Amino acid sequence: MARAEIRNRIRRLRFEHGEMTQQELADRVGCTRQTIILLEQERYVPSLALALRITRAFGVPVESVFELAEEEGT
Amino acid sequence: MSVLMWAVLALLGGLAVVWVGGRRAQPAREPLPEGVELPATARQRAAWGARGAGLLLSGGAAAGVIVNGPDRTYEDDGVRLLFTALVLAAVAAAAGVTMWAKRPGAKAGALDERDQAILAQAPAAQAVAVLVTLAIWTVGLTERFHGAGAVPVFYLYLLFWSCLLVNLLAEPVGILAGYRRS
């Protein structure tokens, strides 16, 4: 699979929220730490439900965490 | 070729189909950057356990048949019971760990959406793997016993157990392939 076309700022937001660990975020949103790592590396595109739980954990709107990647060459 | 060689070929053929099928069911993920490691999930560890226990016990049963020979394994009650006990233990181990892995998570997040997607795709190659095992067995037994016109009962017994083992091992192998690729 090609790299996910959804970019995210999860790693930066974790650090801006008291250096929250990957495990803490995983526990808050109800997923495994492995999934958080893959999300941060943009190797996995979350479901809408997980994306919304992540934005809720940071208390920010969806577009502050996720954005659609620009297509190459545009 | 001896029947035992056909048996080994049948098992390896089935497991090869499981592995290839598991890989094909999951699109390949780009490799992670250097220094980024993925901790194993609970389901991944369970799948390793199921595959390890299943292979170890079924390997023990296969070794028993190879050492004693098919005839003695079938004729000698003690050897046959030991063989059956080892195969049953392999089946119980593989099935037990797989069932444990699929139970609803005791802790929130223990089984997330990615785990569920991997678990759903893990049995993708199960049926084909069993068919391939069965096909190789059929060819082997036909080649070996065509002249005799009958197949000794013990080989049918081995055929059944090997198909069951391939079926049960298919799921943990599919799960491990899923975690490697998705």
Element (H, E) at B89: helix B77-102
Q: Is the pLDDT of residue B109 over 70?
A: no
Instruction: Please report, for the domain that includes residue A18, its CATH number.
Output: 1.10.260.40
pLDDT tens for residues B115-167?
Answer: 888 888 888 788 888 999 999 999 999 988 888 888 888 888 888 888 888 88
Test B30 with A47 for CB contact under 8 angstroms. no
CB B162 within 8 A of CB B13: no
Q: Tell me the CA distances in angstroms from A35 to A2, A50, B164, one per residue in order.
A: 17, 10, 33
Report pLDDT for A74: 46
- Please check whether residue A36 lies inside any domain of the structure: yes
Confidence of residue B14 (pLDDT cuts 50, 70, 90): confident
Q: Which two tokens stand for residue B66?
A: 């190879």
Q: Is the pLDDT of residue A73 over 60?
A: no
Chain B CB within 8 Å of residue A21 CB: no
Number of domains in chain A: 1
The minimum CA-CA distance between A27 and chain B, rounded to whole Å, is: 6
A 10 A CB-CB count for B135 gives 13
Q: What is the mean pLDDT of chain B?
A: 81
Q: What is the ipTM of this complex?
A: 0.78
pLDDT tens for residues A42-66?
Answer: 888 999 999 999 999 999 999 999 9
Of B32, B41, B44, Cβ closest to residue A43? B32
Of the ranges A9-13, B49-53, B129-133, the best mean pLDDT one:
A9-13
CA B22 to chain centre: 13
- Please check whether residue A72 lies inside any domain of the structure: no
DSSP state of A72: T
Q: Which two tokens stand for residue A7?
A: 């970019």
Domain boundaries, chain B: 3-25+56-104+111-181
